[in-house]
């Protein structure tokens, strides 16, 4: 099991956050702190790159919806990128794909904010 | 018990029910253990021993499902209980964070897994190789119940999972407006 890691970089006004490892109840508070810190800086356009994500728990996904809602209240959003098939199956089963945008490429995800 | 394959193995010896979680315990393999445990409780079993030694991690649904078994056992009197054995620090931290250490007996005089017992793996509990797709409605109901259980155990869990609980309830309501029968 990989250690959980978060890498963050800016793509213009869009914040690209790469998640590595397992996002579970144990590691989620780290992402939560990172997202809260970005919100405090007024950065509400977020893309979570899940390419190297091994696992995401149900509560973590639920919390992401809360962050997406907060972001939308400030004309931003939280969108997912490169979701591995096994994780996509989970989020689709739970209905999260209806409320969280999922993108296949970085350009598409970042560009989707500019197209708003 | 032979080589540990991923999933949930169970066995019953001397009026004790044993379960061992290998790999992850998640909403994807909660239902088989819940069903098995409730059947055993209905048959009069009151002692559950859950080995989390080979468990890599648990999500809130799995923990809420375990809490539900614990709450159900509580109704059967003070001698009925869940013993959690071989728990690692990471999983222990999860139990404590959610207040479940107050519901379960943890590493408390739990007997070792009897080696002569016959165990069998509950079907479709290896989440890396699920053979059957999960039912959306059953999964949503299971998750709602599990998170309700967590809130019953510790009120601090209510805000923790409020977004998930709200989303699941809204999803169920959208699928079955006015409580129409679920498929």
CATH number, domain with residue A29: 3.30.750.24
**Residue B138 Cα distances to A34, A40, A110, B112, angstroms:** 34, 38, 36, 34
The domain of B28 spans 7-175
Q: What is the DSSP letter of B107?
A: S
Nearest C-alpha of chain B: how many angstroms from A21? 13
Q: What is the DSSP letter of A59?
A: H
- CA B47 to chain centroid: 15
pLDDT surpasses 70 at B70 = yes
Residue B51 sits in a domain whose CATH number is 3.30.750.24
Partner-chain contact A58 B59, CB within 8 Å: yes
In a domain, residue B181? The reply is no
Determine contact: A96 vs chain B, CB below 8 A: yes
pLDDT of residue B132: 77
Phi and psi of B74, rounded to 5°?
-55, -35
Name the domain count of chain A.
Answer: 1
ipTM value > 0.85: no
Cα–Cα distance measured from residue B143 to residue B164, given in angstroms and rounded to the nearest whole number: 9
First to last CA, chain A: 38
Average pLDDT across chain B, whole number: 88
Partner-chain contact B57 A66, CB within 8 Å: no
User: Which pLDDT tens digit goes with each residue over B100-116?
Assistant: 999 999 975 566 677 76
In a domain, residue B62? The reply is yes
- Asked if A25 contacts B24 with a C-beta cutoff of 8 angstroms, the reply is no
The domain of A38 spans 5-114
What value does the mean pLDDT take over residues B78-90? 88
Strand blocks (E) in B26-115:
47-51, 55-58, 81-85, 105-106
Q: What is the DSSP letter of B62?
A: H
User: Which pLDDT tens digit goes with each residue over B123-182?
Assistant: 889 888 877 778 888 999 999 999 999 999 999 999 999 989 999 999 888 888 876 555
Partner-chain contact A94 B133, CB within 8 Å: no
Cα–Cα distance measured from residue B82 to residue B177, given in angstroms and rounded to the nearest whole number: 38
Partner-chain contact A57 B59, CB within 8 Å: yes
What value does the mean pLDDT take over residues B22-46? 94
* Chain pair A-B, CB pairs under 8 angstroms: 62
Look at the alpha carbons of B152, B89, B5, B18 in this order and tell me if their dihedral is positive or negative: negative
Partners of B93 on chain A (C-beta within 8 Å) are: 26
In a domain, residue B2? The reply is no
In a domain, residue B182? The reply is no
Q: Give the one of A55, A65, A95 whose C-beta lies nearest to B163's C-beta.
A: A65
Q: Which two tokens stand for residue A85?
A: 């098939």
**Residue B74 Cα distances to A2, B20, B45, B48, angstroms:** 38, 21, 12, 12
Determine contact: A25 vs chain B, CB below 8 A: yes
In a domain, residue B28? The reply is yes
Determine contact: A55 vs chain B, CB below 8 A: yes
Q: Which two tokens stand for residue A57?
A: 């728990």
What value does the mean pLDDT take over residues B59-84? 92
In a domain, residue B136? The reply is yes
In a domain, residue B152? The reply is yes
pLDDT of residue B127: 85
Across chain A, how many H-helices and E-strands are there? 4, 5
Q: Which residue has the tokens 């069998």?
A: B120
Name the domain count of chain B.
Answer: 1
Residue of A29, A35, A58 to mutate, testing the B interface (most B Cβ within 10 Å of its Cβ): A58
Alpha helices in chain A (DSSP H): 28-40, 58-73, 85-93, 106-114
- Asked if B85 contacts B18 with a C-beta cutoff of 8 angstroms, the reply is no
Cα–Cα distance measured from residue B173 to residue B127, given in angstroms and rounded to the nearest whole number: 27
């Amino acid at each position: 099991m990989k250690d959980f890691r978060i890498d963050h970089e800016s793509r213009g006004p869009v914040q690209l956050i790469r998640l590595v490892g397992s996002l579970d109840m144990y590691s989620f508070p780290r992402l939560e702190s990172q997202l809260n810190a970005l919100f405090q800086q007024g950065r509400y356009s977020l893309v979570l790159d899940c390419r190297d994500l091994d696992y995401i728990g149900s509560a973590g996904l639920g919390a992401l919806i809360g962050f997406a809602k907060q972001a939308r209240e400030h004309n931003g959003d939280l969108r997912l990128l490169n979701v591995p098939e096994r994780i996509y199956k989970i989020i689709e089963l739970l209905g999260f794909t209806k409320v969280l945008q999922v993108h296949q490429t970085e350009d598409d995800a970042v560009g989707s904010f500019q197209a708003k | 018990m032979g080589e540990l394959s991923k999933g949930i193995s169970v066995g019953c010896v001397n009026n004790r029910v044993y379960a061992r979680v290998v790999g992850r315990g998640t909403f994807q393999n909660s239902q088989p253990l819940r069903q098995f445990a409730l059947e055993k409780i209905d048959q009069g079993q009151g002692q559950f021993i859950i080995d989390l030694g080979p468990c890599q991690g648990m999500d809130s649904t799995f923990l809420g499902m375990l809490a539900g078994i614990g709450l159900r056992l509580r109704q059967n009197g003070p001698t009925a209980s869940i013993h959690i054995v071989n728990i690692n620090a990471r999983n222990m931290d999860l139990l404590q964070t959610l207040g479940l250490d107050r519901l379960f007996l943890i590493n408390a005089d739990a007997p070792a897994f009897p080696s002569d017992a016959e165990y069998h793996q509950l079907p479709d509990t290896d989440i890396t190789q699920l053979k059957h797709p999960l039912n959306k409605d059953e999964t949503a109901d299971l998750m709602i119940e599990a998170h309700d259980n967590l809130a019953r155990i510790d009120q601090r869990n209510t805000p923790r999972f409020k977004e998930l609980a709200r989303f699941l309830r809204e999803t169920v309501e959208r699928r079955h407006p006015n409580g129409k029968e679920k498929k």
